[in-house]
Amino acid sequence: MGQMEDMSTFVRIVESGTISRAAEQLGIAKSAVSRRLVDLEGRMNVQLLNRTTRKSSLTEAGRSYYQRARQILADVSELHAVVSNSKVSLEGDLKVAVPHTFGQMHLIPVVNEFAKLHPGINFHLDFSDRKVDLVEEGFDVAVRIAELKDSSYIARKLVRINLVLCASPDYLARAGTPEKPADLKSHDNLNYFFAPGTTSRFINSSGREENVRFSAKISSNSGEYLCAAAVAGLGITALPTFIAWGEISSGNLVRVLADYQLPPIHAYAVYPPTRHLSRRVRTFIDFMIEKFSEDPCWDACLKSGY
């Protein structure tokens, strides 16, 4: 009996709950299933299941092996389907890391739609702004909003992320409206960075750059908080349009220095370079790219009238 058959049998044992039930589902003798499990453990010299007379449970090694074995079996099934040009439903685990705010506000509908189209996919979503190690932590793909400098990953562009400078009408009535970037030095600034001073690049309508360094009254790693602080009249902040657009369109925030542009960033789907990118991962990335291919609704606040 080959290693793939032993692997498949082990997965069936785990998912069915018992060796007896796995034997029934496979249509073979219980002794044959037990022998495959013993052979698999002997080959790897590790115990995968704690077995008693009534039930069995995964060891730590068994849990890790089960997770990887499911993915490998799904990958092999996909590979066979591609080679034979047959259509097969997407199955298996899909572990995705997404930025917290962007994920909650704009990726949830995309993931939900994809999950309905492909019910065989088991999603594992990590909503966090931390920079995960895709290989070490076992992620299939991550969405990152940044100008990427790490060339060890393959990146596909999803959407351009524009930034806007904004403040509440109440704050501007009280503190005055800046007319040029240098005026920000005399204002209360709400920044996304924890550094004591921030240098920002501004590009005017003629393409000339102007760099301004100013201190922050409040700094935070939460764009949602900075947006709420600006609405509360605490100062001026630069926000991605996907966060600020609702408050700008409702009038709770207004654009500041609208004649100047902040250099945009981009959202990317990144994944480790592998010889074979599974069909479920590739299809999911293509799906995200398609969903973000048109001008996003949140950039409406860049148009006149807001």
For the chain, list the domains and their CATH numbers.
Answer: 3-83 (1.10.10.10), 92-161+265-302 (3.40.190.10), 163-255 (3.40.190.10)
Q: What is the pLDDT of residue 305?
A: 45
Tens-digit pLDDT profile for residues 239-292:
999 999 999 999 999 999 999 988 888 999 998 776 457 888 889 999 999 999
Rounded alpha-carbon distances, angstroms, from residue 84 to 79, 81, 87, 91, 130: 9, 5, 9, 17, 40
Q: Which of 122-126, 146-150, 178-182 has the lowest mean pLDDT?
A: 146-150
Q: Residue by residue, what is the 3-state secondary structure of the chain?
A: CCHHHHHHHHHHHHHHCCHHHHHHHHCCCHHHHHHHHHHHHHHHCCCCEEECCCCEEECHHHHHHHHHHHHHHHHHHHHHHHHCCCCCCCCEEEEEEECHHHHHHHHHHHHHHHHHHCCCEEEEEEECCCCCCCCCCCCCEEEEECCCCCCCCEEEEEEEECEEEEECHHHHHHHCCCCCHHHHHHCCEEECCCCCEEEEEEECCCCCEEEEEEECCEECCCHHHHHHHHHCCCCEEEEEHHHHHHHHHHCCCEECCCCCECCCEEEEEEECCCCCCCHHHHHHHHHHHHHCCCCCHHHHHHCCCC
Residue 55 confidence (pLDDT) above 70: no
Q: What is the pLDDT averaged over residues 28-50?
A: 86
State yes or no: pLDDT of 233 exceeds 90: yes
Give mean pLDDT, residues 39-43: 85
Question: Residue 195 pLDDT > 50, yes or no?
Answer: no
- Tell me the C-alpha distance between 109 and 221, whole Å: 24
Q: Hey, what are 7's tokens?
A: 């692997």
pLDDT at 306: 47
- Average pLDDT (296-301) is 78
Amino acid 265: pLDDT: 87
Pairing of strands 236-240, 163-167: antiparallel
Task: List pLDDT tens digits, range 100-116.
Answer: 999 998 999 999 999 99
Q: Give me the pLDDT at residue 30, please.
A: 86
**Is 93 in contact with 67 (CB distance < 8 Å)?**
yes
pLDDT value of position 150: 61
Q: Average pLDDT in the 168-174 region?
A: 97
166 or 46, greater pLDDT: 166
- Is 52's pLDDT higher than 60? yes
More confident residue, 181 or 68: 181
Mean pLDDT of the chain: 84
Decide: 22 and 12 in contact? Cβ < 8 Å.
Answer: yes
Mean pLDDT calculated for residue range 124-135: 85
Are 238 and 199 within 8 A, CB to CB? no
